[in-house]
Amino acid sequence: MLSIVNTIALEGIEGTLIDVQVDVSAGIPHWDMVGMLGTSIKESKERISIAIKNNGIKLVGKKVSVNLAPAEIKKEGSSFDLAIAVGLLINLGIIKKENVVSSIFIGEISYDGKINSVKGILPMCLAAQKYGFKRVYIPTQNIEEAKLVNGLEIVNVDSLKDLIVKINSNLSIEKNVSKINNNVEAKYDIDFADIYGQEKAKRALEIVAAGNHHCLLIGEPGVGKTMLAKRLITIFPKLSYEEILEITKINSVLGNIKEGTIINKRPFIEVNSNITLAAFLGGGRNPLPGAISMANLGVLFMDEFAEFDNKKLENLRTILDSQTIKLDRVKSSVIYPCKFVLIAAMNPCPCGYFGSTNKRCTCSESKIKRYLSKVSGPVLDRIDIQLNIKNVKYSEINPNNNLEKSKDIRKRVEIARNIQKLRFIKENISTNSEMNSKQIRKFCILDIESKKLLEKLYTKMNFNIRTYNNILKIARTIADLDKKEVIDTSCIAEAVQYKVDNKFYKKEV
CATH number for 253: 3.40.50.300
Residues 349 and 408 in one domain: yes
Mean pLDDT in residue range 303-330: 92
pLDDT digits (tens, 9 = 90+) for 234-245: 999 999 999 999
Q: Which of 404, 425, 446 is the last residue of a domain?
A: 425
Residues 215 and 364 in one domain: yes
pLDDT digits (tens, 9 = 90+) for 257-310: 876 667 888 999 999 999 999 999 998 878 899 999 999 999 999 999 999 999
Is there a domain that residue 437 lies in?
A: no
- Considering its fold, how many domains does the chain have in total? 2
pLDDT digits (tens, 9 = 90+) for 350-380: 999 898 888 899 999 999 989 988 898 889 9
pLDDT digits (tens, 9 = 90+) for 88-110: 999 999 999 999 999 999 999 99
- CA within 13 Å, CB half, 209: 28
Q: Give CA–CA dist 248/242, Å, rounded.
A: 10
Of 156-165, 242-251, 387-396, minimum mean pLDDT range:
387-396
Q: Which long-range contacts (CB under 8 A, 24 or more apart) does 326-329 make?
A: 327/281, 327/282, 327/283, 327/287, 329/285, 329/287
Q: Give CA–CA dist 127/337, Å, rounded.
A: 17
Is there a domain that residue 366 lies in?
A: yes
Residues 99 and 230 in one domain: no
Residues 140 and 95 in one domain: yes
Q: Is the per-residue pLDDT at 509 higher than 50?
A: no
Does this model's pTM top 0.85? My answer is yes
Is there a domain that residue 69 lies in?
A: yes
Residues 103 and 66 in one domain: yes
Nearest to 107 by CA among 146, 50, 56, 70: 146
Residues 151 and 242 in one domain: no
Residues 13 and 131 in one domain: yes
Residues 156 and 196 in one domain: no
- Can you list the alpha helix ranges (DSSP code H) found in 95-236? 121-130, 143-146, 160-168, 199-211, 225-231
CATH number at residue 121: 3.30.230.10
Three-state helix/strand/coil letters over 208-235: HHHHCCCEEEECCCCCCHHHHHHHHHHH
Residue 233 domain boundaries: 192-425
Is there a domain that residue 467 lies in?
A: no
Residues 123 and 265 in one domain: no
The average confidence (pLDDT) of the chain is 91
Q: Is the per-residue pLDDT at 62 higher than 90?
A: no
Q: Name the amino acid, one letter, at 71.
A: A
Residues 149 and 200 in one domain: no
Residues 139 and 216 in one domain: no
Q: Which of 356, 391, 425 is the last residue of a domain?
A: 425
Helix (H) or strand (E) holding 460: helix 448-461
CB-based contact 302:342 (threshold 8 Å): yes
Is there a domain that residue 486 lies in?
A: no
Q: Which of 398, 425, 452 is the last residue of a domain?
A: 425
Is there a domain that residue 373 lies in?
A: yes
Is there a domain that residue 398 lies in?
A: yes
Q: How sure is the predictor about 450, in pLDDT bands with cuts at 50, 70 and 90?
A: very high
Residues 159 and 71 in one domain: yes
Is there a domain that residue 430 lies in?
A: no
Q: How sure is the predictor about 183, in pLDDT bands with cuts at 50, 70 and 90?
A: low
Q: How sure is the predictor about 504, in pLDDT bands with cuts at 50, 70 and 90?
A: very low
